Structure 1
Amino acid sequence: MRRVSMVGTPGSGKTTLGRALAERLGVEYLELDSVFHQPGWEPLPVEEFRARAAEVLAGDGWVVDGNYSAVRELVWARADTVVWFDRPRAVIMWRVFVRTLRRAVTREVLWNGNREPLRGLLPVDREQSVIAWAWVKHAEYRERYRAAAADPGDLDFVRIATDADARALLDRAA
């Protein structure tokens, strides 16, 4: 396990485990959100996004966190392992709500000067609220990655459904 793709719903633990796994493996960590979301939450043009991701993917070892279809085939073509976070919806929704509230209240700077606004707590528009996005995408991601895990090709698929699964993955990387 040297080139790892971390996928799953927001709030599932991709970033936390991804950073710990990259540190344990001694490889670069890339959160795709940090590249895609430019100042003012403007999306990076697709070709530039793919080019920036490809720079990291050219390395011998990395952990890449994110579900972006624009770069998925690039990531998976170089990956040896896909870590799929398949947490229950109730767990996801609680985690993403608490995280969003904390970020909005503390005005935590995320990527490129962006902050989560308080309006992000109102799950109305999935393009404006990570909470709404997590709700809508949960079933879609579960089906997408369940199908991919059933026919993984050369990829090692690791399903993370519990905190114990996450600890076991880190132990495996030791």
Structure 2
Amino acid sequence: MGEITGIPVCHLDAAYWNPGWVATSEEEWDDTVKDLISADEWILDGNYSRTLDVRAARADTIIFLDMPSWITVYRIVKRRIRYHGQTRPDLREGCTEKLDWEFVRWVWSYRNRRRPGIMDKLTALSKEKRIIILGSPKQVRQFVRQIRALSNNHT
């Protein structure tokens, strides 16, 4: 999205995790999020539901990737294999790719445990924000094609 739109992208995982997978303190994280959303334009990639309300208040558009659990688990395993022994481009240096059962369980149970609350928030926000929910890889590809076409028409 950043390449297509020219809008700066921040991967929240890269901002949150310090080298060695050390988490940022809640106070520092809150300050970081406030700094990130103080810019005129931004794209934030990531979850971090504790700060969703603060981010949503400043956002004009929220895109929620609502993929089936099997796809998300498949993709984290694939990502683990692809970046074995390396730091992914969307993480801070010193966070070597890893995968543990706790994370697999979190991803697998996300749709049942976290998704309902997120959907409630998105429904409430839809009165004042543009909410886009993409539920399949095909929908994501179609959306990206639309954004690319719009971007090409504006240049």
Asked if Structure 1 and Structure 2 have the same fold, meaning a TM-score greater than 0.5 normalized by the shorter chain, the answer is yes
The Cα of 1:83 is off from its aligned counterpart by 0.7
CA distance in 1 between counterparts of 2:56 and 2:22 reads 25
- Contact map agreement 1:84 1:159 (CA 8 A) in 2: yes
1:86 Cα shift?
1.0
How many Å separate the matches in 2 of 1:99 and 1:150? 31
- Shift of the 150–71 alpha-carbon distance from structure 1 to 2, 3 Å rule, reads closer
**2: CA distance between counterparts of 1:80 and 1:162?**
23
Match of 1:82 in 2: 62
Matched with 2:94 is 113
Give the 3 Å change call, closer, same or farther, for CA 155–71 of structure 1 in structure 2.
same
- What is aligned with 2:29? 49
CA RMSD in angstroms, aligned pairs only = 1.8
Residue number in structure 1 paired with 2:153? none
Name the residue aligned to 2:144: 170
Superposed, 1:14-93 pairs within 5 Å as 21-93=1-73
Match of 1:151, SS state, is helix
- Name the amino acid aligned to 2:93: N
Could you state the TM-score of these two structures normalised by the residue count of structure 2?
0.82
Identify the residue that residue 146 of structure 1 maps to in structure 2.
Answer: 119
1:155 corresponds, among 100, 106, 129, to: 129
Structure 1: how far apart are the matches of 2:111 and 2:6? 31
Structure 1 runs of 4+ aligned residues shifted over 6 Å read none
Give percent identity, aligned residues only. Answer: 22
Q: Deviations over 1:56-91 (max 9, x none)?
A: 211111110111133212210100111111111121
Letter in 1 for 2:21: W
Relative to structure 1, the CA distance from residue 98 to residue 32 in structure 2 (aligned partners, 3 Å threshold; closer, same or farther) is same
Is residue 134 from structure 1 mapped to residue 107 from structure 2 by the alignment?
yes
Equivalent-residue separation in structure 2 for 1:79 and 1:98 (angstroms):
31
Q: Offset of 1:114 from its aligned partner? A: 1.0
Task: In structure 2, give the amino acid aligned to 1:161.
Answer: G
Alpha-carbon separation, structure 1, partners of 2:107 and 2:16 = 18
Does residue 97 of the first structure (1) align with residue 77 of the second (2)? yes
Gap runs ≥5 in structure 2: 151-155
**Structure 1: which 5+ runs fail to align?**
1-20
Query: What secondary structure, in the 3-state scheme, does the structure 2 residue paired with 1:40 have?
Result: coil
